[in-house]
Amino acid sequence: MKSLPMTSGDTERVRFDGGGQHIVGVLHFPYPSNANGERIVITCHGLMSSKDSQKYLQIAESFPSRGIAVLRFDFRGSGESEGSGDLLSNRIIDLKAAIEYVTERGFKSIGVLGSSYGGTTAILVTAETSQVRALVTWSTPCRIIELFGSIVTSEARDYQTRLGGTRKEIESSEFMRDLLKHTVIESVKRVNKILTIHCKEDQVVPWTQAKLIFDNAREPKQLKLFERGDHQLLDPSIRKEAIELSLKWFTKYL
């Protein structure tokens, strides 16, 4: 296994094991003229997304030019990775595997950037390991049972009409049972060096959840709330600022 960057702007398709599943990613090396060669940020995508989401491609273009490598990868069951399902417990396994992989590649200072459900995963893993030195979350839920429970409840009405199922059957699904194993608020109390970014017009995850993350995290921490903008930060000016703020955070703490 190779260690550390090759030449300016290099990328490498990689594959590593995540709990018996082949996880696929792309490693973007930093520009040697600006880099000490040891800093890296791992990106974590949300539900119904992948490593190839435009936001991660933009991050992978921006960060290496400022001396920080990027690993963007697909959680199992997404993109090019093996497996199925979106269980939070499995995503935790996959992110831990990604951290182990970049450590084996020689990166010593590791940051994580997670969006939405990927941010939830990032918080839970960061709380468990000292290997993550800095964390950034975008549009991230922390009261996951409350949030996903309302989604499941609304879907249950349609499920019952179409298939004769019951709300109880939906709410006792494996996905929901797995969520009950994790308490994000308690985990974030063990996290510091965290920047939380959210848009107040987010219609998927209320911005108040970002405030809860910030209030419960340890110092140093920072909260950035955009007055407008959606869950995916699709507005080019907002996304550009979010990327720049994230880069400054990692530059400071990695």
pLDDT in tens, 185-242: 999 999 999 999 999 999 999 999 999 999 999 999 999 999 999 999 999 999 999 9
Residue 87, domain member (yes or no): yes
Which among 158, 145, 130 has a CA at the least distance from the CA of 184? Answer: 145
Contact assessment for residue 97 and residue 18, using Cβ atoms and an 8 Å cutoff: yes
Domain that holds residue 225: 11-142+184-253
The reported pLDDT for the residue numbered 31 is: 81
Residue 33, domain member (yes or no): yes
The reported pLDDT for the residue numbered 36 is: 65
The reported pLDDT for the residue numbered 182 is: 93
Residue 3, domain member (yes or no): no
Residue 1, domain member (yes or no): no
The reported pLDDT for the residue numbered 175 is: 83
Which among 101, 43, 40 has a CA at the least distance from the CA of 72? Answer: 43
Residue 148, domain member (yes or no): no
Residue 224, domain member (yes or no): yes
Residue 89, domain member (yes or no): yes
Where does 57-106 show beta strands of DSSP type E? 69-73
Residues of the chain with pLDDT below 50 are: 1-8, 151-172
> What residues does 114 pair with on adjacent strands?
44, 137
Which among 183, 93, 95, 86 has a CA at the least distance from the CA of 135? Answer: 95
- pTM of the entire predicted model: 0.89
Rounded to whole angstroms, the Cα distance separating 214 from 224 reads 10
Q: What is the CATH number of the domain that holds 211?
A: 3.40.50.1820
**Domain count across the chain:** 1
Residue 219, domain member (yes or no): yes
